Chains A and B, each alone.
Chain A
Amino acid sequence: MAEVAESPGDPGTASPRPLFAGLSDISISQDIPIEGEITIPMRSRSREFDSSTLNESVQNTIMRDLKAVGKKFMHVLYPRKSNTLLRDWDLWGPLILCVTLALMLQRGSVDSEKDGGPQFAEVFVIVWFGAVTITLNSKLLGGNISFFQSLCVLGYCILPLTVAMLICRLVLLAEPGPINFMVRLFVVIVMFAWSIVASTAFLADSQPPNRKALAVYPVFLFYFVISWMILTFTPQ
């Protein structure tokens, strides 16, 4: 690199030096490399995180996901105004619950005479399309919740109804009768109310305050249909 350097000073020059004359003293040489990083700090951190979860064992991943799902189940069973469900949403829990419910509600027989009951695909479709419809409705009413967050909350709040289905299945093992029906009715009603309270606790804050009722009504219908399917289920 050619060093363009003027001799620093000619002492004794009486003439005024031009304004930026001194700048020509500065030269860039290879001795002083220009350092710097043009990086986006967040990116490197997230990539480190990604690569670290990619390299961990499968058991670790599964256990971590299961623990997250379990924690959210606890939040649904004891609904408080928190936004754990909203903050890190995931759809594993809703999938597990939906599949469990659909499997239990499925009619065993392939009889064409008695296929008035819901099949697996029907329950699955009802749950997911119902959740999508409610989400779209709450977004259109002016809610500030994202699509997947709402799906996550609605799916997780099916947990009480799945528990009701399990209890009903157990109760149906006893002999049928009006007492049987009353017990099942009571259980289903309680779990239905629990589902609605849980989902309202999570969803209500995302709606403008005067439209909460408008957003909660379709949730009520949705869980009503599922409860009805559970209540009227009779095994062959």
Chain B
Amino acid sequence: MATPAAPAGGARSGAGPEWGGFEENIQGGGSAVIDMENMDDTSGSSFEDMGELHQRLREEEVDADAAAADDEDGEFLGMKGFKGQLSRQVADQMWQAGKRQASRAFSLYANIDILRPYFDVEPDQVRSRLLESMIPIKMVNFPQKIAGELYGPLMLVFTLVAILLHGMKTSDTIIREGTLMGTAIGTCFGYWLGVSSFIYFLAYLCNAQITMLQMLALLGYGLFGHCIVLFITYNIHLHALFYLFWLLVGGLSTLRMVAVLVSRTVGPTQRLLLCGTLAALHMLFLLYLHFAYHKVVEGILDTLEGPNVPPMQRVPRDVPAVLPAARLPATVLNATAKALAASLQSH
């Protein structure tokens, strides 16, 4: 080995000139290149390379002592070098495998592209559907088309949440257990999802031709009427106005939903059951939203001059813990009845 071997490879960073090449090749994603130059393999060349390594190290040093010390260091580095490289390679491959598995699982479960076709709408489509949701169609012999999209209903639910929040703030509603925002979101989303599921279940029982997506879309667009009524009546506190709007606007949107469902159901009993339930729930929800979250201005005026009627408050559903289980529902019902009576009285 008399030949002064030129250092293989150009610019190498790292601890020593030899081991730097390993880092460049191994670290980083996807590089499966192993620098075989100094790997321990069955050919005898690695020993020759070791020899070269020692030689090189010896040549680099000027002092004999330093050379000797580095000799040992170099050898030590050498052993650690390729073991380290092996372990690094293994770790890299394990990381790659783990990452591949995780991304596969993620793309399977968290794939929002499943929802993408339901959001494929144009603004004028949304506008026309909003307007159509207030227009009941007379043709009930032929199943009416329902657009299966989720953008409009979702935006309407969020708008209802915002309007509800506005109403609760202006009426200084006191929520004892929970927060304003949580209550608003829970109410609106709970209504949309819960009543949709319930009506879908009833439709399944009554053999109506409607899918869950269509029911969600139908009920979602039916909330447009609610949004309009609440937006107006939370700002103009006239009860006659509210009742008028409740009947007119609420009634129109309910009629539209009922007409669509009737066109898709066969048999008078089934139609009655399905549409009666939907109509009742829809109208009562509007009533509930108005009275539960709305300041009663007349009530306040009454307290100033007339009998001491407290302004509308959400009744705390505190159930006393001492009661036996059998009397609990009765107590809750009593509390609800009292609250309703108080609210109706104060109007």
Q: Is the CB of A122 within 8 A of B182?
A: yes
Binary flags per residue of A31-60, CB closer than 8 Å to B gives 1, else 0: 101011111100110011000000000000
Point out the residues of chain A lying under 8 angstroms from B187, CB to CB.
none
Contact B3 A31 (CB under 8 A): yes
Instruction: Return the contact of B24 from the options A37, A112, A221 (Cβ within 8 A).
Output: A37
Given known contacts A44-B13, A140-B119, A211-B122, is B159 in contact with A221 (CB within 8 Å)? yes
Nearest-neighbour CB distance to chain B for A119, whole angstroms, equals 7
With contact pairs A115-B175, A116-B174, A210-B123 given, residues A38 and B112 touching in the complex (Cβ less than 8 Å): no
Please tell me if B173 contacts chain A, counting CB pairs below 8 Å.
yes
Q: Which of A38, A119, A213, A218 contacts B123 (CB 8 A)?
A: A213
List residues of chain A with CB within 8 A of the CB of B8.
33, 35
Interface status of B267 (Cβ within 8 A of chain A): no
A13 interface contact, C-beta 8 A: no
Interface size on A, residues (CB 8 A): 40
* Contact in complex: A40, B28 (CB < 8 Å): yes
Known: A126-B181, A213-B123, A225-B165. A44 touches B158 (CB 8 A): no
B181 touching A118, Cβ below 8 Å: yes
B9, B28, B158: which contacts A35 (Cβ < 8 A)?
B9
**When the two chains form their complex, are residues A137 and B174 in contact, meaning their CB atoms are under 8 A apart?**
no
Q: Mark B11-25, 1 if CB is under 8 A from A, else 0.
A: 001000000010111
Q: What A residues does B339 contact at CB under 8 A?
A: none
Q: Does B211 contact A (CB under 8 A)?
A: no
- B111 → A minimal CB distance (Å): 12
Question: Can you list 22 contacts pairing A with B, beta carbon distance less than 8 Å?
Answer: A30-B3, A33-B5, A35-B8, A37-B9, A37-B10, A37-B24, A43-B27, A44-B24, A115-B179, A116-B174, A116-B175, A118-B181, A122-B179, A137-B119, A139-B112, A141-B151, A213-B123, A214-B151, A221-B158, A225-B161, A225-B181, A228-B165
A217 within 8 A of B: yes
B181 to chain A: which residues have CB within 8 Å?
118, 122, 126, 225
Check if A113 is an interface residue, CB within 8 A of chain B.
yes
> Does B303 sit at the interface, judged by CB under 8 A?
no
| Interface residue B281 (Cβ < 8 Å from any Cβ of A) | no
**Which of A43, A113, A114, A118 lies in contact with B179, CB distance below 8 A?**
A118
CA distance A114 to B334 in the complex (A): 26
Q: Are B174 and A140 in contact (CB under 8 A)?
A: no
In the bound complex, CA of A40 to CA of B172 (Å)? 64
- Interface contact A47-B3, CB-CB below 8 Å: no
In the bound complex, how far is the Cα of B180 from the Cα of A117, in angstroms?
A: 7
**In the assembly, what is the distance between CA of A221 and CA of B159, in Å?**
7
Interface contact A112-B112, CB-CB below 8 Å: no
Is B31 positioned at the interface, with any CB of A under 8 Å from its CB?
A: yes
Confirm or deny: B116 has a beta carbon within 8 angstroms of a beta carbon on chain A.
Answer: yes
Kindly state whether residue A28 has any CB partner on chain B within 8 Å.
no
Expressed in whole angstroms, the minimum distance between the Cβ of A48 and any Cβ of chain B is 8
Listed from nearest, the 6 A-B pairs whose CB atoms lie closest are: A140-B119, A43-B28, A39-B24, A232-B169, A213-B123, A38-B33
Report which residue of B168, B172, B181 has the largest number of chain A beta carbons within 10 angstroms of its beta carbon. B181
Tell me if B333 counts as interface (CB < 8 A to partner A).
no
Kindly state whether residue B121 has any CB partner on chain A within 8 Å: yes
Q: Which residue of B lies closest to A130 (CB)?
A: B158
Query: B173 to A116, Cβ gap below 8 A?
Result: yes
Interface residues of B in 113-149 (CB under 8 A from A): 115-116, 118-123, 126
Q: How far is the CB of B110 from chain A (nearest CB, A)?
A: 11
Q: Is residue B237 contacting chain A, with contact meaning CB distance below 8 A? A: no
